[in-house]
Amino acid sequence: MGEQPIFTTRAHVFQIDPTTKKNWVPASKQAVTVSYFYDSTRNSYRIISVDGSKVIINSTITPNMTFTKTSQKFGQWADSRANTVFGLGFASEQQLTKFAEKFLEVKEAAKLARDKSQEKMETSSNHSQESGRETPSSTQASSVNGTDDEKISHGGPETEQLQSENDRLKTAVEQSNTNAKKWETELQTLKESNARLVDALQESNTNVETWKKQLATCKEESDQLRIKIAELEAQCNDANQEKERNAQLTLRVQELEAELQDKEQELENLRKQAEIIPQLMTECESITGKLQAAETANKELTGRMDTLHSDVEESHQKQGHMKGELKKFMDVLEGKIDELHEVRQGLSKLGLDN
C-alpha cells in the first residue's frame, strides 16, 4: 500500500534560524497542508508538508521526539536527522491540541514498532544461536545412531523432539532470510527516497533562485506602482482642489444669476414706469393748467374779496354767507395746492431715477 495519510491539517510552517538558533524563519508564505503519513511497508511515521513543488517538512517520527506547545496557537519539535527545529502556527488552539495529541499517538506507535522490531531481531538472533548449537548434536546423533531411518526406529521420542526442533530452526532461518530481504528492500526504498529528496532539494534551490528574481522584479514593479500611486494621489488632490474651486465658482455664478434676475426685474419695472412718464407729464401739464386757472381764479376771488370787504358792512347776513363760501373755496384751493406739490415731488423723483 506504501505511505498513506492518516491525519491532515493546515498551518504556517517555520524553521529555526540555523545561524542564531533563536529566530524563526518562515518556510511558507501562507498556511499549507501538514500531514501525518504511515508507511505500512517500513512500519514508520512521517510528517510531510509541501508548498507548491517545494518540500518544506520531511520529518520521520521517532520515540525520542517531543512536541512542545509554546503558546496557544504555536508548537514545535526538534528533528535531529534534519538538524533543525520545526514550528507550526495554527489558526486556533483546538487545531494545535489535535495536532499535539496526534503527535503523541504517532510517537507511541513508533515506539511500539521499534520494540517489536527489536524483539524480532532478538528472537531471530537467539534462533540462529540455537541452530548453531543444535546442529552438531544432530550430526553427532546421526553418526552415533546411524541413518535417519535408523534414528527414527531406534531413537524414539528424543529423535522426534530433535526433528521438530530442526524444523523450527529452519523456519526461523527462513524468517531471518525473509527479514533480511525486507530490510534490503527498505534500504533500497530509503536510497530512492533520498535520491528523490536530493532532486527535490535541487529543484527547490532552482525555484528559490527563480523566486528571488521574481521577487526582485516584483519589488521593482511595486516601487514603480508606489510612484504612480503617489502621482495619482497628487493628481487627485489637484482634482479635488479644482472641484472645490469649481463648486465655489458655481455658487458664485448662481448668486450672480439671482442678482441678474433681480436687476432685470427692476429694469422691467423701470421700463413700465418709463412708459407711464408721458402720461404723468400730460397729467402734470393738465394740473399745471388747472393750477394757473386756479391762480387766475384766486386773483379774481381776491378782487371779489376786496369788493366783498366793502360790502361787508352793508349786509352781515351776506357777509356770513360769503365767508362760508370763501372758507370752502380756500379748503379746496389748499387741497389742490397740496396735490400740485405731490405731483411736483413725484416728477422730481422720476427725473432722478431716470
Q: 87-116: per-residue pLDDT in tens?
A: 999 999 999 999 999 999 999 999 888 888
Domain boundaries, the chain: 5-116
pLDDT for residue 260: 86
Q: CB–CB of 134/168 below 8 Å?
A: no
Distance (Å) of CA 256 to CA 39, 269, 333:
89, 20, 52
124 has a pLDDT exceeding 70:
no
Top-confidence residue, 334 or 183: 334
Level-2 CATH architecture, domain 5-116: Roll (2.30)
CB proximity list for 137: less than 8 A, separation 6 or greater: 162
pLDDT for residue 55: 93
Closest CA relative to residue 63, chosen from 105, 108, 101, 103: 108
Residues 242-273 pLDDT 10s: 888 888 988 898 998 989 889 889 888 888 88
Confidence of residue 283 (pLDDT cuts 50, 70, 90): confident
Residues 304-338 pLDDT 10s: 888 878 776 887 887 778 788 888 989 999 999 99
Q: CB–CB of 298/333 below 8 Å?
A: yes
Mean pLDDT over 80-91 rounds to 93
Mean pLDDT over 79-87 rounds to 92
Contacts 24+ apart (CB under 8 A), 64-67: 65/103, 65/107, 67/99, 67/100, 67/103, 67/104, 67/107
Mean pLDDT of the chain: 79
Confidence of residue 152 (pLDDT cuts 50, 70, 90): very low
Mean pLDDT over 24-46 rounds to 92
C-alpha 94/C-alpha 73 separation (Å) is: 8
Confidence of residue 13 (pLDDT cuts 50, 70, 90): very high
The three three-digit cell numbers of residue 275, written as one number: 412708459
pLDDT for residue 294: 82
Mean pLDDT over 270-279 rounds to 83
Among the listed ranges 72-76, 183-187, 257-261, 343-347, which one has the minimum average pLDDT value? 183-187
Top-confidence residue, 165 or 217: 217
pLDDT for residue 153: 42
pLDDT for residue 5: 93
Among the listed ranges 44-48, 169-173, 293-297, which one has the minimum average pLDDT value? 169-173
